[in-house]
Amino acid sequence: MAGVMQWLSVASRRSLVLSRTAEWNASGTLKTVPLLTRGAHVETSSARIEKLVPNEYDGPLVKTEVPGPKTKELIKELDAVNKNAATVQSFVDYDKCLGNYMVDVDGNRLLDTFAQISSIPIGYNHPAIIDVMKDPANLSLLVNRPALGVFPSGSFPSTLANVLLSVAPKGLSRVQTMMCGTCSNENAVKQALMWYRGKKRGGPPTQEELESCVIGKEPGCPPYTVLSFKGSFHGRTLGCLTLTHSKPIFRLDIPSMDWPYASFPRMKYPLEDFEAENRAEEDRCLKEVVEQMEKGLATGRDVAAMIIEPIQAEGGDNHASPYFFHQLQKICKQFGSVFIVDEVQTGCCTTGHFWAYESWNLPEAPDMVVFSKKMQAGGYYFKDEFAVDGPSRVFNTWMGDPPKLMLLGAVLDIIKRDNLITVARESGQVLLDGLKSLQDKYPDLLSRARGMGTFAAIDCKDPDTMGKVSRIVKNKGVFMGTCGTQSIRFRPSLVFQPHHVDIALDALDSTLADISVQ
């Protein structure tokens, strides 16, 4: 089915008005579709909207069915080469992408509320990023990728201090760069295990430990464990898969270490309306955590560390209250375990806080905080006491990528200049209010609207409905992600403004209207 749609922009969502858009019906004739818009009025021009990315498009433009014919042909070509093209949703024309808009090879311009799996911080082709790449002074770092653990450039220490440590969680004075979120989690966990073993040993390793470790035996390889949570996702390397408990496709056929896990709370939303029920659920999960910790000590399989996401992402955007995380930190203190917070998805302002854990008001920072995605670089922050006790213990060839730190420096400048944390809070509130309105309008299709900043989600009634929503809304010019078994999730860039929220919610509204009459 071919289709053409051009959106009008809207100023804000304050009251109910109607806008209209056009699309082709199955018979090939033009029809108009009413869309619910919550703005005070409809703008036919975006002149009064202050765009955070210069010359950003005014709205989506759909020229073909999504995915279009060129994309489908390229999928066939790719699959012939690597037989792994089933996950490809669109082939993108990155030269034409701008701000919040992704343009595919078929010329379809989509409002991207997923931002490359939450990894685009200030939109596509932002001038500040382009300037970094065009600067001749940066050329040598762009073309020579150093083995950072052995041959870093002379500017590397100051770059770490001026860029990464400038946004370090308070109380975490050390940082280790890595390649991506998965290897950052992997090495943070390894470093935690090294620290725990060193603390228990109380001195240098014995000769027996040195000889037994190379064949994977005790005492060189102690039976210590790391506790994670049901619904978690921490990456797809072998170690991180042991800590991942969300979708079967991630772990099927892969051997796993026998490490403990506990339940993550399944809350009722909005959280403030169900405080008693939610507190009981969190206490149930905390009891499981303590039981696992005690069992580990009793069997000689100490839980050396605990790793947790502030909001479970792949597992279905599951939230918990600050109380839950306060108690987890206390439990780790009680058992002498390392408290690791995985902020790969939630870090860098998307929740309306630079680090999501800041909203918990902990008495002190977590022991380690892992980052990647919107931070461009990967790595983890940690307290002084968790530093490794010897060379090459945390090591790979690259251990990060200096050009990514250059890009992050530009991103942080724009975050500060344009006050993007406030933008995330304001757009997030508009988004959550709109999702709640749609939930009220379509109670048979939607439930459990939830969010923190623009890190938001809403449940469809079943997995089939989730799939329909994702497919149909894409053909209305908006790309939305999914997670868990039946959730639509939002992970826009930090330049996602209220008028972008309007466009996304209008498309979602129209999509639900289509589904409700099927």
Q: If you write DSSP's letter for every residue of 72-84 in order, what string do you get?
A: HHHHHHHHHHHS-
What region does 33 belong to: left with phi over 0, alpha with psi -120 to 50, or beta?
beta
Q: What is the DSSP string of 317-375?
A: -B---HHHHHHHHHHHHHHT-EEEEE-TTTTTTTTSSSSGGGGG--SS--SEEEE-GGG
Encode the chain (518 residues) as per-residue pLDDT tens digits.
333 333 333 333 333 322 323 333 333 332 333 333 333 223 334 446 889 999 999 999 999 999 999 999 999 999 999 888 899 999 999 999 999 999 999 999 999 999 999 999 999 999 999 999 999 999 998 999 999 999 999 999 999 999 999 999 999 999 999 999 999 999 999 999 999 999 999 999 999 999 999 999 999 999 999 999 999 999 999 999 999 999 999 999 999 999 999 999 999 999 999 999 999 999 999 999 999 999 999 999 999 999 999 999 999 999 999 999 999 999 999 999 999 999 999 999 999 999 999 999 999 999 999 999 999 999 999 999 999 988 899 999 999 999 999 999 999 999 999 999 999 999 999 999 999 999 999 999 999 999 999 999 999 999 999 999 999 999 999 999 999 999 999 999 999 999 999 999 999 999 999 999 87
Closest CA to 314 of 465, 181, 473: 181
Model-level pTM greater than 0.75?
yes
Q: Which residues contact 509 (CB under 8 A, 6 or more apart)?
A: 35, 36, 438, 441
Interatomic CA distance for residues 432 and 351, integer angstroms: 12
What does the H/E/C string look like for 208-230? HHHHHHCCCCCCCCCCCEEEEEC
Question: Could you give all domains of the chain from N- to C-terminal order, each with its CATH number?
Answer: 5-112+420-516 (3.90.1150.10), 137-416 (3.40.640.10)
Segment holding 492, helix H or strand E: none
Active site residues per annotation: 233, 342, 373, 397
C-alpha atoms less than 13 angstroms from C-alpha of 450 in its C-beta half-sphere: 22
Q: Which stretches of 115-163 are DSSP H helices? A: 115-118, 127-134, 139-143, 156-159
